[in-house]
Amino acid sequence: MNRKKVLLLMMLLGMVLGFGPAVSAKSGRFLVGSVKGIRLDNSEWGQVKVAWDAVAAADGYWIRYDQDASMKNSWNIFVNSGTEYVIRKLDVRKEVYVSVRACRREKGWIVPGLPSEVHQCVVKGRLVVIDPGHQSHANLEMEPNGPDSKIMKYKVSGGTRGKVTKVPEYVLALDVSLKLREELEKRGYQVKMTRETHDVDISNAERAVMANEWGADVFLRIHANGSKKSSQNGCSTLCCTAQNPYPVQKWYRRSRKLSEFLVEHLAEKTKAKNLGVSETDKMTGINWSEVPVSIVEMGYMTNPREDKLMQTEAYQKKIVIGLADGVDAYFRRNTTDPEKE
């Protein structure tokens, strides 16, 4: 049997087995192999790590990437089998499209497999919406606790205030939120805020709807805690329960994970007591959300020590870095569609 017939039979066999017609344009030859374990990791903002755990019958793989879906001006990099490649200096406001193919280096032969080529959108400029809690004047009119709810809650309560400093919660919340916006923008995030001044009248439900309409990737509600016991101290976060009766229930797992990362990194940076994550379905600003959402309680303003600490520039910087690190950790973990998890 001559060489052409052998190649034809091999090609037909490959197509029957599901390897597809991936053939080198130069030689017309191909190798039957298998590929698995492609990993894409946003190890740092502005770069993506690509690794292939196993490439059978191949010397390595070609990585092709571009920040344009057409990939007309893509970069092409050959990576030896068993090694990884880090794509650096990316514009995190855009998506990154990555194509991976196993191949023989010396001839450019393509190794078909499942998959023989993978395209993934791995980086996107994330939108973080920050809601500085409360405002200069409480609004004690009522609004539904969630969509179509018969339970009514105050639109915006007055919040707490510092036991020693007498600073209102709404002032502290905005001070930290403005600094958090600056830090997140430095890290490449898009940031919008529900308020930038104290003299507003925006209900908790309206704030959540703002985040929904803006298409937030996450919604951070910045608050500080209060207690009748002045000894109570520590930081915490809140999210909905798995049984929440409103649309936000769809985002329970994301909201829970976001809350865990935020309080973990906040406590780590500030050295405050980590009170963990509380789940509740009583918060209007959570129940009206249609995106992953978390309430951050930075500390207790009714605790003399934490009250004074939270008014210092140094401690506020620690809060900001901790929260920004929590956001980073959340997005590093979650790069897939939550509906497909």
Going edge to edge, which strands form the sheet with 47-55? 35-44, 47-55, 84-87
Contact 60, 51 (CB under 8 A): no
**Cα separation of the two ends of the chain:** 51
197 class by beta-carbon count within 10 Å (0-12 exposed, 13-18 middle, 19+ buried): exposed
Contacts of 8 (CB under 8 A, 6+ apart): none
pTM of the model: 0.69
What does the pLDDT profile of the chain (341 residues) look like in tens digits? 554 454 444 444 433 333 333 322 222 233 334 445 566 666 566 677 777 665 555 677 778 788 777 777 888 888 877 777 888 877 766 677 777 776 765 544 444 433 344 445 555 568 999 999 999 999 999 999 999 999 999 999 999 999 999 999 999 999 999 999 999 988 878 899 999 999 999 999 999 999 999 999 999 999 999 999 999 999 999 999 999 999 999 999 999 999 999 999 999 999 999 999 999 999 999 999 999 999 999 999 999 999 999 999 999 999 999 999 999 889 877 643 343 34
Helix (H, G, I), strand (E, B) or coil at 144: strand
Contact 293, 208 (CB under 8 A): yes
Label the pairing between strands 274-279 and 293-300: unpaired
Nearest residue to 149 via CA among 312, 47, 288, 298:
288
- Model pLDDT for residues 206-243, shown as the tens digit of each residue: 999 999 999 999 999 999 999 999 999 999 999 999 99
The whole-angstrom separation of Cα 310 and Cα 114 is 54
Q: What is the architecture, at CATH level 2, of domain 127-334?
A: 3-Layer(aba) Sandwich (3.40)
Q: For the domain bounded by 18-121, which CATH number is listed?
A: 2.60.40.10
**Tokens 């809140």, residue?**
238
DSSP state of 338: G
DSSP state of 319: H
**Tokens 């939270």, residue?**
310
Q: Where are the domains of the chain?
A: 18-121, 127-334
